[in-house]
Amino acid sequence: RKEVEQDPGPFNVPEGATVAFNCTYSNSASQSFFWYRQDCRKEPKLLMSVYSSGNEDGRFTAQLNRASQYISLLIRDSKLSDSATYLCVVGTGGYQKVTFGTGTKLQVIP
């Protein structure tokens, strides 16, 4: 089993739709969780950290489920500019070494 797994997609959704991605991780000792956004041929950029209590930033909501070992990202009212690949990133404690998922591609359609 891969350390971090994501559905590669693509997820093709109309503007205004709500879309959710999940990411599963195998290491129960994982302590830090992030969602990054990567535009085509660009570097990844942090979208949001994922906390145990969940967190929300505008149209984006991230949640962590430790029991089932997955994190999720919910995007409401999708915009064309949300089209990108969303990378799930999971880290273990101590040294900040993280594992990246392969990414989920989102295409928002007019």
Give me the residues that bind another protein (CB under 8 A), please: 4, 8, 31-32, 34, 41-46, 49, 87, 89, 91, 95-98, 100-103
Taking the C-alpha atoms of residue 75 and residue 41, their distance in angstroms, rounded to an integer, is: 22
**CB burial class (10 A; 0-12, 13-18, 19+) of residue 80?**
exposed
| Residue with smaller CB distance to another protein, 32 or 107 | 32
- Minimum Å gap between C-beta 14 and another protein is 25
Closest distance to another protein from the beta carbon of 47 (Å): 10
The smaller minimum CB distance to another protein, of residues 30 and 78, is found at 30
CA 20/CA 86 separation, integer angstroms = 11
Q: Which of residues 40 and 110 has its CB atom nearest to another protein in the complex?
A: 40
CB contact at 8 A, 108 and 83: yes
